[in-house]
Structure 1
Amino acid sequence: MASESVPITAVAELAGVSVATVSRVINNSKPVNAETREKVEAAVAQLGYRANAIGRILRKSETRMLLVLVPDFANPYYAEIVQGVESVTRDRGYHLLLADAPQRWERGATALDALHNRLADGVICLAHIDPESELHKEIAPLPWVACSEVMPGSKVPHVSIDHHQAAVDAVQYLLNRGHQRIALITAEEEFLWAQQRRQGYLDAMARAGIAVDPRWIQTARKADYADGHMAAGALLSLAALPTAVFAVSDTLAIGAIKAFRRAGRQVPQDIAVVGFDNLPLSEVFEPALTTVAQPMRELGAQATRLLLARLAGETPASLTLAHSLVVRESA
């Protein structure tokens, strides 16, 4: 019967191995051959043994817990990244603690308390932190990595894509298709990635010699489906409807398409739409969404590897992963 009081020595005796070997398997601290690992895991399952996490913290000053700060749990983009994080932590013997990133970063925030009180060994941050803030200077020496959001000038390593170039590629695709009245739906512009995507749009249009009507740029509060729907409604009110839209997220793009369709506009016949992220929904949505694909799970996996390298005392370099344009039916 499962019990938290089962001693580790009982597991070792049943598996026919040493206590040290059982510890290696449970903590995933050193390599163990497959046959031995299976014996230990079978003994653990049979006896219902649970490792004493508090005891491990006291002995080794580590929790084997990583804190992941998520700006918006409702956004499927972040869910994909977290799955990438989990794919690495699962194999390395770490567990995840997911926390909603606070709107205002202040001393005493729960997330920072988790670090300072050693409730987590390190942090993967998907949220925005002002690189000029005093708080950023305070957390910079801590075991911390940024994922998706870039912090220029910071010593904190990050994993991201080239958001500016990705936006240029998306707009250039529309230009190559003959569009000139190209609108932008953007959001959450406190994030550097949103600023870079906006600038990529503006630069691509400038290179094409097209003056951007300020009314073509709609800035939503958040990157939700409803926000995309509202932004599209503002575009529909224009006397001359743009012939194409570049949205800085798939959620905004899908919300916009729904608004266009409800207004009797066909996509892409009347107005083409390009999104950003390549969420799983973008392929099954009708019409299937043309979008910039960024490797969301790989972003999470690489961020985790960077953090584990920091925890091991290394100084890993930041990474910029490749993006691509996935052409489907919407543009």
Structure 2
Amino acid sequence: MPAKRPTDMRSPPTDVNVGTHNTTKAASINAVAEYAGVSIATVSRVLNSSKPVNAHTRERVEAAVEALGYRANMFARSLMRGESHLLLVLMPDFANPFFSETVKGIESVARRQGYNIVLSGAPDTLAREGHSLDILYNRLVDGVISLANYHDLPRVLRDVPNLPWVSCSEFNPESHVPHVSIDHEQAAVDAVQYLINRGHRRIALLGADENYAWARQRRAGYEMALRRAGLVIEPQLIRIARGTDYSFGMEAAGALLAQESPPTSVFAVSDTLAIGAIKAFRRAGRRVPEDIAVVGFDNIPLSQVFEPALTTIAQPMFELGAEAANLLLERLAGGAPGSRTLQHSLVVRESA
């Protein structure tokens, strides 16, 4: 049965079907106000319970909402209150499994607290001419979790100083922005020390773009472990890949094999580079680990099922994302949380 219509109600607009929730055209707040014979401000007060409204008027508005099948735009209502319940996650690489696993952790915490996340490619969002900057400058999100290259952030942090930020994995220790990460340098020391303990002396590094702090820190750990063992750091054994995709690992590994005296082992700063390197070694007829051992970094899901299974540094990817979300939510609640360092571990499998 159609909803009972209180007295003094006006006729509905002609393009709205009364009595059903399947409207020809979505009912607007204007239509509700017109139908109830009240102002838009009064409808807003009833919907948001922001100010007292007498019982008779409230009944008329509620009946109009029911009759027209009005559905409030929750996003718009949130913005009116100064919040969107949206969190922006800046992603440097959608294809990298590390970031997808980390985002799962972010999303799990955000969802439980009533937030949704918006993923955005960092290069596009942070480009000076990029339209995606509007989401930051117009405060369409409540806060930001950045996995992006920290080198790209200072201008945006300066232009939007009051927007809460948290960094995840990639961070600047001198910044006021709180972060959650592991000790990348110590993790690299552990990986290289494992190879040294296995008898390796010619250990190569497959590095990544050193605009990223984590890439610099992992290289520093590699060099520290060699120095502690009294081994010479040989520049020709250090190869910086053009990216972190598998193909770039294959490319960089090929350059190592072309040397007159190739390494007996490789430490790669990501599992994707390590897996690409193993493919290159096997195509060249080298056995892993018999001819050349390989250690990766991250412990992405593929590292367990790839043949040979990858020895790697395990980052708690899901936990990194979850903890980053917790940090940001603490900031949104008015807190001032400190940065947090999570534990890594060495997972020994078949590749080294």
TM-score computed with the length of structure 2 as normaliser: 0.78
Q: Within 5 A, what are the aligned runs for 1:186-197?
A: 186-197=207-218
- Selected match of 1:210 from 226, 231, 240: 231
State how many pairs are aligned: 293
Q: What SS does structure 2 have at the residue aligned with 1:317?
A: coil
Matched, 1:307 2:328: yes
Matched, 1:84 2:105: yes
* Partners of 2:152 and 2:137 in 1: CA distance: 20
Specify the alignment match of 2:58 in structure 1: none
* Partners of 1:174 and 1:204 in 2: CA distance: 10
- Selected match of 1:130 from 148, 151, 155: 151
Specify the alignment match of 1:45 in structure 2: none
Query: Taking structure 1 as reference, are residues 6 and 90 closer, same or farther at Cα in structure 2, changes over 3 Å only?
Result: farther
Matched, 1:183 2:204: yes
Q: CA RMSD in A?
A: 2.4
Query: Taking structure 1 as reference, are residues 86 and 132 closer, same or farther at Cα in structure 2, changes over 3 Å only?
Result: closer
Kindly provide the amino acid, as one letter, of the partner of residue 56 in structure 1.
R
Q: Is the 8 A contact 2:264 2:293 kept in 1?
A: yes
Q: Is the 8 A contact 1:64 1:94 kept in 2?
A: yes
Specify the alignment match of 1:245 in structure 2: 266
Q: Is the 8 A contact 2:204 2:265 kept in 1?
A: yes
* Partners of 1:293 and 1:65 in 2: CA distance: 30
Deviation per CA, 1:292-318: give whole Å up to 9, x if none.
000001111010111111111111111
Q: Which contiguous aligned blocks of 4+ residues in structure 1 show a shift greater than 6 angstroms?
A: 4-7
Deviation at 1:61, TM superposition (A): 1.5
Kindly provide the amino acid, as one letter, of the partner of residue 218 in structure 1.
R
Kindly provide the amino acid, as one letter, of the partner of residue 335 in structure 2.
E
Q: Is the 8 A contact 1:277 1:293 kept in 2?
A: yes
Matched, 1:54 2:75: yes
* Partners of 1:161 and 1:54 in 2: CA distance: 35
Q: Is the 8 A contact 2:125 2:131 kept in 1?
A: no
Deviation at 1:112, TM superposition (A): 3.7
Q: What SS does structure 2 have at the residue aligned with 1:130?
A: helix
Deviation per CA, 1:152-208: give whole Å up to 9, x if none.
211110010000000000000000000000000011211000000001001100111
* Partners of 2:153 and 2:168 in 1: CA distance: 18
Unaligned runs of 5+ in 2: 1-19, 29-46, 49-68
* Partners of 2:243 and 2:121 in 1: CA distance: 15
Q: Within 5 A, what are the aligned runs for 1:103-142?
A: 105-107=126-128, 109-130=130-151, 133-142=154-163
Specify the alignment match of 2:44 in structure 1: none
Q: Is the 8 A contact 1:184 1:246 kept in 2?
A: yes
Deviation per CA, 1:94-131: give whole Å up to 9, x if none.
11111000169455644542122121111110001238
- Selected match of 1:290 from 311, 322, 325: 311
Q: Is the 8 A contact 1:131 1:152 kept in 2?
A: no
TM-score computed with the length of structure 1 as normaliser: 0.83
Specify the alignment match of 1:256 in structure 2: 277
* Partners of 2:341 and 2:197 in 1: CA distance: 26
Q: What SS does structure 2 have at the residue aligned with 1:253?
A: helix
Q: Based on CA coordinates, which of the two structures has the bigger radius of gyration? A: 2
Specify the alignment match of 1:234 in structure 2: 255
Kindly provide the amino acid, as one letter, of the partner of residue 99 in structure 1.
S
Q: Within 5 A, what are the aligned runs for 1:66-85?
A: 66-85=87-106
Unaligned runs of 5+ in 1: 8-21, 24-47
